[in-house]
Chain A
Amino acid sequence: MSSPAPARRRGVERAAWGLILPFCLLFAVFTAWPVVQSLFMSFTDTRNRDLRTPFSVEFVGLDNYVQAFADPLFRTAAANTAYFVLVGVPLTLGIALAAAVVLDKGISRFRAFFRLGFYTPVITSIVAVAVVWRFLLQDEFGLINTVLGWVGITGPNWLGDPDWSMPALILMAAWRNFGTAMIIFLAGLQAVPASLHEAASIDGAGSVKRFRHITLPLLRPTLLFVSVTTAIGYLQFFEEPYVMTNGGPLNSTISASMYTYKQFGFGNYGFASAMSYLIFVVIAVVTALQFRLLRERS
């Protein structure tokens, strides 16, 4: 017979704590503690020379936050980030959804082949991507402008022109990220019952109508997940400008995360922490907003 209930429960409790202990230790040291510390730091004037003497820093209240809002470069960076997110997220999701729908229902052969092909940009290091894209976007010798030249269009100096640098980075980000969203959309599309489509097409609904009234509503939870994770990633975009433009030309591609990183590099730790918490607040708000907009309606 099994052991008495209380002893059994104690055993389960012990086993559970044994299982979570390694995680809790690592998590406490490398995630929870830094989170608490950075929050504290954002209210102080911590700089790099204070690294060894953490108790000598001054408490400055909300000064760092006020300074961030007053900083014209931070405002430029925030505006750039908003531009990137507002154009980049819909573009990425649109391409991903189109690719997923076609791969799911449109064709029956070579699916795995196309899936892998569309996923290759995701698995490539950003550094490798940057090398290739800098070539592609070159003013005179670049592949993109060469191809545009064939049809008589003089392409812009993508990375050298403040008006075209951000579109170039958005294009690159969409190219690089749509594969992940596509794979998750594909998984979501498999959960849409085929019988619904059959019934609707017997009733005379065309494929556009069926997509709007059957596929999209059932895809809502997937759409929520993908748009939340994509927006969280894009709100922190950093790598594209870091490796492609270093924020230029004329600060046209500097992002909030990148500016924060630069301030960290200058040793302004308190200021950098405050800005990273501002980014966090924006992410939380945007995430909550998306949950409201895309929540399941019964």
Chain B
Amino acid sequence: MTAKNRWWLYVPLTLALVAVVSPFAWMVLGSFKGEGEIRANPPTWLPESPSLDNYTQLFSRLQFGTYFLNSAIVAVLVTVGNLLFCSMVGYALAKLEFRGKRTLFLIVMATLMIPGVVTFVPLYVLVVNAGLANSLPALILPFLVSPFGVFLMRQFIVGLPGELLDAGRVDGAGELRIFARIVLPLCGPALATLGILTFLGSWNNFLWPLVVAQQESEYTLPVALALYSTGQNSIQYGLLLAGATIVVVPVLLVFLVFQRRFIEGIATTGIK
């Protein structure tokens, strides 16, 4: 059955879209407004005299460039680590026979259910004792692999046809070669899904960096924004809105680039 064009459905959908998107629209538009206009009542939509003042101030006064760079380094390395390591384990769990395989899979599934707050305290102790507090590695190392990523990749690779791998084996290729040359190229949608979810999680990760990064040189964007919005008596909303807008932009771009594959990825990995 093809979708019927029920025109009247566009009315509630559009109203819903306005309600869902308007906070963003207001945030982005507000970042170009002056302080007085942002606090105006009734609130305005379009800036009366749009300016980039808030943005130039962010970068000149608040080291926003440093926070941005920190966020980017952490998110990119964490994403690369997850794509590589989780797909390796996913392949081993899905297609290879080895001792301890069942146990490994059970442990991975069990840790999926353990809330982050459980490991929070000992992980913090570990990082402090290892002398990693106040350093970027403390924001990266604990997140380089995830049970969620292993589960996702395993579910996808299980569904790949065995004939393809057997063909490689007959040709005498080793398992590592088969993984790199045959399996990985077929994992596009799953890798895109894992990639965007991991990037998103890392880019917006807030609680752990808030506790671990105590020095300004290690702040990530969410930490800087949170401290700036809650810590001071006189908040400058213009700066806050500009900062919030900057945080969203890279994620929006990543989503736009990957969204087709992302949605296919979820549809075909059979997480249901």
Contact = CB atoms under 8 A, between A and B. Distances in A.
Contact of B3 (A22, A107, A175): A107
A202 B54 CA distance: 61
A204 interface: no
Interface in A223-242: 224-225, 232, 235-236, 238-239
A198 B1 contact: yes
Interface string B155-188: 0000000000000011010111001000000000
A157 interface: no
B121 A269 contact: yes
A19 B91 contact: yes
Contacts of B251: 123-125
A284 B113 CA distance: 7
A231 to B, nearest CB: 11
Given A23-B86, A280-B114, A107 B6 contact: yes
A132 B24 CA distance: 8
A20 B17 contact: no
B122 A41 contact: yes
Given A239-B207, A243-B230, A23 B145 contact: yes
B247 interface: yes
B106 interface: no
A11 B98 CA distance: 10
Interface string A213-256: 00000000110110000001001101100010010000000000
B17 A190 contact: no
Nearest to A185: B272
Question: Looking at A9, A190, A194, A261, which has the most chain B CB atoms within 10 Å of its CB?
Answer: A261
Given A12-B98, A280-B115, A194 B1 contact: yes
A142 to B, nearest CB: 9
Given A11-B174, A16-B175, A108 B225 contact: no
Contact of A20 (B88, B111, B172): B88
Contacts of A103: 13
Interface in B224-256: 225-226, 229-230, 237, 240-241, 243-245, 247-248, 251-252, 255-256
B30 to A, nearest CB: 8
B119 A12 contact: no
Given A108-B3, A132-B27, A257-B117, A123 B206 contact: no
A135 B122 contact: no
Contact of B248 (A23, A35, A124): A124
A26 B141 contact: yes
B204 interface: yes
B142 interface: yes
B117 A276 contact: yes
Given A22-B85, A131-B229, A187-B267, A12 B3 contact: no
Contacts of A37: 122, 125-126
A171 to B, nearest CB: 11
Interface residues of A, number: 103
A58 interface: no
B212 interface: no
B9 A107 contact: yes
B149 to A, nearest CB: 9
A238 B226 contact: no
Given A222-B272, A239-B206, A123 B3 contact: no
A15 interface: yes
B20 A117 contact: yes
A177 to B, nearest CB: 12
Interface string A98-125: 0100111111111010111111111111
Nearest to A275: B117
B1 to A, nearest CB: 5
B200 interface: yes
Contacts of A225: 271-272
A12 B117 contact: no
Contacts of A283: 113, 115
A183 B271 CA distance: 12
A187 B114 CA distance: 26
Contacts of A41: 121-122
Contact of B5 (A18, A109, A125, A194): A109
B266 A187 contact: yes
A126 B205 CA distance: 9
Contact of A34 (B22, B119, B179, B221): B119
The 7 closest A-B pairs by CB, nearest first: A128-B244, A15-B175, A16-B98, A34-B122, A37-B122, A187-B267, A34-B119
22 contacts: A18-B176, A26-B85, A30-B141, A31-B142, A41-B122, A51-B129, A103-B13, A106-B9, A108-B2, A109-B5, A123-B251, A124-B248, A127-B222, A127-B226, A128-B248, A129-B23, A131-B229, A136-B23, A146-B43, A264-B124, A269-B125, A287-B113
Given A31-B119, A37-B122, 13 more contacts: A12-B96, A15-B176, A20-B88, A23-B88, A31-B142, A32-B107, A106-B9, A123-B251, A129-B23, A131-B240, A141-B42, A264-B121, A269-B121
